[in-house]
Amino acid sequence: MKTGVRRKFDKLRLVVRKTGGMVIAFSGGVDSTFLAAVAVQELGERALAVTALSPTYPKKEQNEAAKLATLLKVRHICVESNELLIPGFEENPPDRCYHCKKELFTVLRGVADRAGICLIADGTNADDVGDYRPGRRAAKELGVVSPLLQAGLRKDEIRELSRMMCLPTADKPAFACLASRFPYGSRITEEKMLAVDKVENSIRKMGFKQVRVRHHGDIARIEVDAGDVPRICDRFTSRRVVSAAKKAGFRYVALDLEGYRTGSMNEAL
């Protein structure tokens, strides 16, 4: 391990230890799993992982989060959080993530108070500050801390440390809530999110690791890693993709030739 990464890791452990206890917004992704693993080591029973169950969070991810919590031996609870009930959320404004995170962190605040824990922590890392993330405003307003960011850890470093700790999420593809698949101003519904989830799952079963299905009305715009673009264009594979998309209710299927990139919907802002 490089000296710089070791220093950041040591700083993270110190930051976590000094909190004396934290409620972790736990999605089961690379960042929150790594943070929870460190928190268990440093805080023991004073670490509490909380997973919010909602229509924007696929059932598959919910199940994985529960299994990971068991593996980590971290205290874990699930809470209900339906973003679709937030006034204006369905209209998908550019600050949608602010309202979503505000709802989530408010729910977690109640959990923390009942557990006698002062701090709520999220998995924001040093790479996240370069993108448009209105959810960060909600975190600041509600006093949510970001230990990975405080330690200066980047995504690749978190993956490296996760491998060192033998965490199964070390090479897990990046994931974002299903609401992120819609252009701003395009109405979000549970039915549309289920359609996106079905197509993404079908494509993953074809062996594609990183997949996004962007919902543009009748059109499904598909993003896979740039290196996988030739493979998904294969005649047999493309037919299977088109079939899966049409079964889910899409009329047309398009492939984004730029490939997958995080926050592609923000490019229009």
Tell whether 140 and 253 lie within a shared domain.
Answer: no
Tell whether 33 and 95 lie within a shared domain.
Answer: yes
Q: Give the CATH number of the domain where residue 250 resides.
A: 3.30.70.2210
d(CA 241, CA 243): 5
Tell whether 134 and 204 lie within a shared domain.
Answer: no
Of 164, 181, 206, which one is at a domain's C-terminal end? Answer: 164
pTM to 2 decimals? 0.91
Crossing angle of helices 155-164 and 3-19, in 10° steps, is: 80
Tell whether 9 and 134 lie within a shared domain.
Answer: yes
The answer to whether residue 233 is domain-embedded is yes
Q: Spell out the residues 6+ positions from residue 229 whose beta carbon is closer than 8 angstroms to its own.
A: 255, 257, 259
Report pLDDT for 129. 83
Tell whether 155 and 242 lie within a shared domain.
Answer: no
The answer to whether residue 172 is domain-embedded is no
Tell whether 107 and 219 lie within a shared domain.
Answer: no
Tell whether 111 and 208 lie within a shared domain.
Answer: no
The answer to whether residue 181 is domain-embedded is no
90, HSE (Cβ side, Cα atoms, 13 Å): 8
Report pLDDT for 211. 96
Report pLDDT for 153. 98
Domain that holds residue 36: 3-164
The answer to whether residue 217 is domain-embedded is yes
Tell whether 126 and 241 lie within a shared domain.
Answer: no
Tell whether 136 and 195 lie within a shared domain.
Answer: no
The answer to whether residue 208 is domain-embedded is yes
For residue 41, with 0-12 CB atoms within 10 Å meaning exposed, 13-18 middle and 19 or more buried, which class applies?
middle
Report pLDDT for 135. 86
Tell whether 157 and 243 lie within a shared domain.
Answer: no
Report pLDDT for 87. 86
Report pLDDT for 18. 96
Tell whether 15 and 101 lie within a shared domain.
Answer: yes
The answer to whether residue 182 is domain-embedded is no
Tell whether 151 and 225 lie within a shared domain.
Answer: no
Count: domains in the chain:
2
| DSSP conformation letters of 41-104 | HHHGGGEEEEEEE-TTS-HHHHHHHHHHHHHHT-EEEEEE--GGGSTTGGG--TTHHHHHHHHH
The answer to whether residue 228 is domain-embedded is yes
Q: Spell out the residues 6+ positions from residue 131 whose beta carbon is closer than 8 angstroms to its own.
A: 262, 263, 266
Q: Which residues of the chain have pLDDT under 50?
A: none
Report pLDDT for 81. 86
Q: Which of 212, 262, 260, 171 is nearest to 58 (CA)?
A: 212
The answer to whether residue 171 is domain-embedded is no
